[in-house]
Amino acid sequence: MLLAIDCGNTNTVFSIWDGTRFLATWRTSTEHQRTADQYYVWLSTLMKLQKIEADITDVIVSSTVPRVVFNLRVLADRYFNTRPMVVGKPDCALPVAVRVDAGTQVGPDRLVNTVAGFDLHGGDLIVVDFGTATTFDVVAKDGAYEGGVIAPGVNLSLEALHQAAAALPHVDISKPQRVVGTNTVACMQSGVFWGYVGLVREICARIRAERGTPMKIIATGGLAPLFQQSEDLFDHFHDDLTMHGLTVIHDYNMRTA
Ligand SMILES: Nc1ncnc2c1ncn2[C@@H]1O[C@H](COP(=O)(O)OP(=O)(O)O)[C@@H](O)[C@H]1O
Ligand SMILES: CC(C)(COP(=O)(O)O)[C@@H](O)C(=O)NCCC(=O)O
Ligand SMILES: [K+]
């Protein structure tokens, strides 16, 4: 079975894939100090608790934080006796082309999202991922990654207000009832929520205009459903888009090896 690991700047997600479905998915905070032994204690405890009897033979990793990859490699080697595939490394092939400026290190999560979006919906897509940063990935007709947009994440924007202004509290995002806030928290939520609705609409409209072609908008990330609620921003939402992409890339490498 395959252990797929998606490490973002905030959270790291582990999923076990049996070839047809995910048996379980667990989430931990991303900390580069965490050792292979710590990962294994955490993972094996959860597997026992949920009575998951998985014989893990393969590991694939996508990490936006380069420093955590070392310990994840040790985890794969020491506890699963396998060399992990690491997205973005030369020995991990991608089923799609990457057409960006020479020397650009595209975030592996964006490449994985591109592969997943193309597998599920074909080409001409904009994939929006609401992570630490909000990324827009442009997927060409043939599935190639052709660049995109990076914007500050929703929680990062709220946190930046709190950090920089003495009188602004820590606030969680939610959809405000009204645009005009009558207290500080409501004002901040309004700025970020409606500002974000505008950001997503404007960026997608401009991408479509720049490329002169209709493009489907695919969304992923924990905060996407909040924006989808009443605003018609996306054509499709997939909770596990990145995980799906990791299974496709793993499969591709097994078949072409
Ligand atoms: N379902 C959710 N509801 C509210 N906040 C969420 C949810 N899922 C993730 N978040 C928050 O969204 C931000 C991005 O999280 P995540 O998508 O895990 O980022 P990354 O992939 O960059 O690690 C974090 O601040 C996280 O706490
Ligand atoms: C843009 C990102 C920080 C998003 O990371 P995330 O929010 O998933 O943690 C990551 O994809 C990254 O570090 N990219 C490198 C630069 C690039 O993609 O062009
Ligand atoms: K992500």
Q: What is the pLDDT of residues 187-222, one digit of tens each?
A: 999 999 999 999 999 999 999 999 999 999 999 998
Residue 52's domain comprises 2-86
Residue given tokens 């057409």 in the structure block: 99
Overall domain count for the chain: 2
Q: Is the CB of residue 249 below 6 angstroms from any atom belonging to ligand 1?
A: no
Q: Is the CB of residue 223 below 6 angstroms from any atom belonging to ligand 1?
A: yes
Domain check: are 132 and 207 in the same one?
yes
The two three-digit tokens of residue 54, written as one number: 């998985």
Give the residue-averaged pLDDT of 109-130: 98
What residue's CA is closest to ligand 2, atom 17? Answer: 106
Res 229: pLDDT? 77
Domain check: are 141 and 66 in the same one?
no
Domain check: are 241 and 138 in the same one?
yes
CA distance linking residue 85 with residue 98, whole number of Å: 18
Res 26: pLDDT? 98
Domain check: are 63 and 171 in the same one?
no
pTM score above 0.90? yes
Residue 106 lies in a domain: no
Which residues fall within 8 angstroms of residue 75, CB to CB, at 6 or more apart? 36, 39, 40, 59
Residue 255 lies in a domain: no
Give the residue-averaged pLDDT of 87-115: 98
Q: What residue numbers does the annotated binding site for K(+) cover?
A: 129
Domain check: are 45 and 138 in the same one?
no
Residues in the chain, total: 257
Res 228: pLDDT? 86
Position 67, amino acid: R
Res 230: pLDDT? 66
The contacts found for 66-74 with CB under 8 angstroms, 24 or more apart, are: 67/32, 68/7, 68/12, 68/30, 68/31, 68/32, 68/34, 69/7, 71/32, 71/34, 71/35, 71/36, 71/39, 72/5, 72/7, 72/36, 72/39, 74/35, 74/36
Q: Is the CB of residue 9 below 6 angstroms from any atom belonging to ligand 1?
A: yes
Domain check: are 163 and 226 in the same one?
yes
CA distance linking residue 99 with residue 84, whole number of Å: 25
Residue 22 lies in a domain: yes
Return the best residue to mutate from 63, 65, 110, 242 for the ligand 2 pocket (most ligand atoms within 8 A of CB).
110
| Per-residue pLDDT tens over the stretch 140-161 | 999 999 999 999 999 999 999 9
Cβ contact 118:143 at 8 Å: yes
Pairing of strands 125-130, 133-139: antiparallel
Residue 100 lies in a domain: no
